[in-house]
Amino acid sequence: MSTNEASATPASLNFIEQIVENDRANGKNGGVVLTRFPPEPNGYLHIGHAKSICLNFGLAQQYGGATNLRFDDTNPLTEDTEYVDSIMEDVRWLGFQWQGEPLYASDYFDQLYAYAIHLIKAGKAYVDDSTSEEIRRMRGTPTEPGEHSPYRERSVEENLDLFARMKAGEFPDGSKVLRAKIDMASPNMHLRDPIMYRIIHAHHHRTGDKWCIYPMYDWAHGQSDAIEGITHSICTLEFEVHRPLYDWFLDNLPPFDPRPRQIEFARLNLSYTIMSKRKLLQLVRENHVAGWDDPRMPTISGLRRRGYTPASLRNFAERIGVARRDNVIDVGLLEFSVREDLNKTATRVMGVMDPVKLILTNYPEGQTEEMMIENNPEDPNGGERAVPFSRELWIEREDFKENPPSPKKWYRLGPDRMVRLKGAYIIKATDYVKDPETGEITEIHAEYIPESRSGNDTSGLKVKGTIHWVSVDTALPVEVRQYDRLFSDPDPGGHKDRDFLEFLNPDSLRIISPAYLEPSVKGAQPLDHFQFIRKGYYCVDRDSTADKLVFNLTVGLRDNWAKMSQK
């Protein structure tokens, strides 16, 4: 979008676009837009990160700019290359490409060290020998000023010497820190001499054993943006109170051009969903789920395996927009987005989950026909496929009722009732067989009306119901994993006195095996999408083998969200 087009429709701009357009109109940074997505590689990305990715990459695309992928790898204890790899895969899968190579905050450790020396020389940073407990105590409270550390007035020479020796590994973990010398009485706690470096004798996934002092996030983050020439540093609202500190660092270092401008937006919260990486890690570690990409997880890899498409996540991010105030998005809106996308693209097939046998007593034994059925009524170029039809079929148990509760409204099968078999014939139920012990119906008998073949129906009969079916001889037995929400509470992480694990839904996974699918599905590959008609959207899971396909329920057909939003 050019500035002109945009100014013609100002109402459609969100507040971040407005800031960027203003900056461009004022010729700031020569009109350049460089954003970044800065994940900490300490877990897999989740749907909240997807929102941030779409925002950062989308904004840069919109203004002809670029986006860096920068790993904020300042904490060697929690970070891992497994996470780095998964993050790159997820960003690409969402449809975005970062500028050049991926970047790492650890690439700037030398530069950050030099900046720290600069602050020490200017009398604006000092080495503190206080314990973390003492530092915490002397910080004061939001209403009472803090106290000066006894080490605050160390000379520049002594600070330079001690900081060099911290780096050289002379001191044990936790024995010293480097702090910025700002204002122990500031009403903003982040300005009360924040810690810049701590000693951690630990191996780092990229810098190995080169460093035993590691920069704090607040020290590394803003400077990393400045080093890269980021023009707009977009972050979530909780960093608004850190902004004065980031500004202080930039004000006290040699000037940067461009100087990054931080813009905060409300993080995505979703109902029925946990978004904290720490809690997601706990779900994985304690085997409450089968891994980071368990289809019930709100991770990008979980949603991908579940059958979400990149377009559905991008549309979701676009639809929820950006806000300045914290809010909770109904998870139904996410489900709506994937349903809307798959409706346009998923091949329709017939699959029976809870099979009961239907025998067409007047259909010749051994005879088969191929019924031509459209692949996708939403897609004019979707084509047709042949579905084999024969005397014995599987239908859903729930589609036959001996005594329908409200007979006038029951349009499916029952004694002497008629339905159409999708894409095939009208049939009339004549009889059924029950297991004498359990009372369960084991067989339904019906007669088909030969003149009622779909596409060439001369029977003159009108029936209200159509049900799906699968021919017994050629049915493909598969495993279907039916998912429900992982948590049964709308805000599982929001209860003060109760652990989020208490709200795990014990029925979040139900395995159906075998379910019977029409044979056209044979040979489907992981992530292939289908609509099982009248059931929902499903995709092939990577656990599938040559002998047995495994399907994940992506989302049911019923659209609760659209209904709610119409009320």
Q: At what angle do helices 47-62 and 15-25 cross, to 10 degrees?
A: 30
Nearest C-alpha neighbor of 423 from the set 476, 374, 465: 374
Rounded to whole angstroms, the Cα distance separating 79 from 286 reads: 19
We find the least distance from the C-beta atom of residue 72 to ligand ATP, in angstroms, to be 6
Tell me if 252 sits within 8 A of 121, measured CB to CB.
Answer: no
We find the least distance from the C-beta atom of residue 104 to ligand ATP, in angstroms, to be 13
We find the least distance from the C-beta atom of residue 276 to Mg ion, in angstroms, to be 11
Would you say 220 or 515 has its CB closer to Mg ion? Answer: 220
We find the least distance from the C-beta atom of residue 129 to ligand ATP, in angstroms, to be 30
In our burial notation (b when 16+ CB lie closer than 10 A, e otherwise), range 366-389 reads eeeeebebebbeeeeebeebebbb
We find the least distance from the C-beta atom of residue 279 to Mg ion, in angstroms, to be 14
Given candidates 34, 38, 429, 475, which one binds ligand ATP under the rule CB under 6 A?
A: 38
In degrees rounded to 5, what are phi and psi of residue 507? -105, 30
In the stretch 169-208, what mask flags binding to Mg ion with x, by CB under 5 A?
----------------------------------------
Q: Is the Cα torsion angle 223, 225, 230, 236 positive or negative in sign?
A: negative
Tell me if 59 sits within 8 A of 232, measured CB to CB.
Answer: yes
In degrees rounded to 5, what are phi and psi of residue 378? -85, -10
We find the least distance from the C-beta atom of residue 234 to ligand ATP, in angstroms, to be 7
In our burial notation (b when 16+ CB lie closer than 10 A, e otherwise), range 276-311 reads ebebbeebbeeeebeebbbbbbbbbbbbbbbbbbbb
Rounded to whole angstroms, the Cα distance separating 139 from 185 reads: 9
Report what 78 binds from ligand ATP, Mg ion, none; CB cut-off 5-8 Å by kind.
Answer: none
We find the least distance from the C-beta atom of residue 281 to ligand ATP, in angstroms, to be 9
In degrees rounded to 5, what are phi and psi of residue 113? -60, -45
In the stretch 12-51, what mask flags binding to Mg ion with x, by CB under 5 A?
----------------------------x-----------
Rounded to whole angstroms, the Cα distance separating 475 from 82 reads: 40
Q: Which residues contact 420 (CB under 8 A, 6 or more apart)?
A: 426, 427, 452, 454, 463, 465, 466, 467
Q: Is the Cα torsion angle 238, 244, 248, 250 positive or negative in sign?
A: positive
Considering only residues 103 to 132 of the shown chain, the ones binding ligand ATP according to CB under 6 A are none
Would you say 214 or 400 has its CB closer to ligand ATP? Answer: 214
Rounded to whole angstroms, the Cα distance separating 543 from 520 reads: 20
Rounded to whole angstroms, the Cα distance separating 379 from 33 reads: 39
Report what 213 binds from ligand ATP, Mg ion, none; CB cut-off 5-8 Å by kind.
Answer: none
Would you say 51 or 305 has its CB closer to ligand ATP? Answer: 51
365 classed as catalytic: no
* Number of residues that make up the chain: 567
Residue of this chain nearest to Mg ion (CB atom): 40
Q: Does 48 sit near ligand ATP (CB under 6 A)?
A: yes
Q: Which contiguous run of DSSP H or E holds residue 184? A: none
Rounded to whole angstroms, the Cα distance separating 134 from 174 reads: 12
Would you say 90 or 128 has its CB closer to ligand ATP? Answer: 90
Report what 192 binds from Mg ion, ligand ATP, none; CB cut-off 5-8 Å by kind.
Answer: none
Would you say 52 or 531 has its CB closer to ligand ATP? Answer: 52
Catalytic residue among 277, 306, 385, 535: 277
In degrees rounded to 5, what are phi and psi of residue 409? -105, 5
Q: Does 276 sit near ligand ATP (CB under 6 A)?
A: yes
In degrees rounded to 5, what are phi and psi of residue 121? -60, -30
Which of these ranges, 49-57, 139-147, 148-156, 383-391, lies near ligand ATP under the rule CB under 6 A?
A: 49-57
Report what 39 binds from ligand ATP, Mg ion, none; CB cut-off 5-8 Å by kind.
Answer: ligand ATP
* SS3 category, 471: strand
Considering only residues 218 to 257 of the shown chain, the ones binding ligand ATP according to CB under 6 A are 235-236
277 classed as catalytic: yes
Q: Does 49 sit near ligand ATP (CB under 6 A)?
A: yes
Place of tokens 């004019």: 380
Given candidates 267, 288, 428, 445, which one binds ligand ATP under the rule CB under 6 A?
A: 267
Considering only residues 349 to 408 of the shown chain, the ones binding ligand ATP according to CB under 6 A are none
Catalytic residue among 17, 21, 40, 396: 40
In the stretch 95-134, what mask flags binding to Mg ion with x, by CB under 5 A?
----------------------------------------
Q: Does 39 sit near ligand ATP (CB under 6 A)?
A: yes
Rounded to whole angstroms, the Cα distance separating 226 from 224 reads: 5
We find the least distance from the C-beta atom of residue 74 to ligand ATP, in angstroms, to be 11
Q: What's the one-letter identity of residue 286?
A: E
* SS3 category, 83: helix
Which of these ranges, 123-131, 273-281, 328-336, 366-374, lies near ligand ATP under the rule CB under 6 A?
A: 273-281
Which of these ranges, 33-41, 242-250, 407-415, 427-435, lies near ligand ATP under the rule CB under 6 A?
A: 33-41
Given candidates 16, 24, 44, 52, which one binds ligand ATP under the rule CB under 6 A?
A: 52
Residue of this chain nearest to ligand ATP (CB atom): 48
296 classed as catalytic: no
Tell me if 252 sits within 8 A of 124, measured CB to CB.
Answer: yes
Considering only residues 288 to 307 of the shown chain, the ones binding ligand ATP according to CB under 6 A are none
In degrees rounded to 5, what are phi and psi of residue 525? -110, 155
Q: Does 277 sit near ligand ATP (CB under 6 A)?
A: yes
Given candidates 40, 225, 294, 399, which one binds ligand ATP under the rule CB under 6 A?
A: 40
- The neighbour count for residue 141, using CB atoms within 10 Å, is 8
Which of these ranges, 46-54, 105-113, 302-310, 504-512, lies near ligand ATP under the rule CB under 6 A?
A: 46-54
Q: Does 420 sit near ligand ATP (CB under 6 A)?
A: no
Rounded to whole angstroms, the Cα distance separating 527 from 309 reads: 9
* SS3 category, 433: strand
Catalytically annotated residues: 40, 267, 277
Contact positions toward ligand ATP, by CB under 6 A? 38-40, 48-49, 51-52, 235-236, 267-268, 275-277
Contact positions toward Mg ion, by CB under 5 A? 40
